[in-house]
A = this chain, B = another copy of it.
Amino acid sequence: MQDLYMELIGLSAGICTTVSFIPQIVKIVKSKHARDISLWMYVILTMGIFLWLVYGILSSRISIILANGVSFLLCSFIITSKMKYRR
């Protein structure tokens, strides 16, 4: 039972941290502004997410692979948008 609760908490946590990038993408695309966003933050974050993805693949944990695979794509999109709307 404790395990079920834990997996539900982990699943909710993964969904939150993954979908959180969507409002930021919507904001950049709508406003065409990304000046206040730190490029370094997203470069380091995307590296970290990539390492989590490798960790997930090595440990064959589908939830880690899925959450970090999607986050990796979303953060890469934010990096591209930041480069485009630098000012």
- Docked Cα-Cα span, A49 to B14, in Å, equals 9
Asked if residues B36 and A28 are in contact (CB atoms below 8 Å), the reply is: yes
When distances are taken between beta carbons in the complex, the residues of chain B under 8 Å from A20 are 40-42, 44-45, 48
Complex copy number for this chain: 2
Specify which of B14, B23, B45 is in contact with A48 (CB 8 Å cutoff). Answer: B14
When distances are taken between beta carbons in the complex, the residues of chain B under 8 Å from A73 are none
Asked if residues A13 and B44 are in contact (CB atoms below 8 Å), the reply is: no
Asked if residues B34 and A36 are in contact (CB atoms below 8 Å), the reply is: yes
Asked if residues B51 and A16 are in contact (CB atoms below 8 Å), the reply is: yes
Asked if residues A41 and B13 are in contact (CB atoms below 8 Å), the reply is: no
Asked if residues B40 and A37 are in contact (CB atoms below 8 Å), the reply is: no
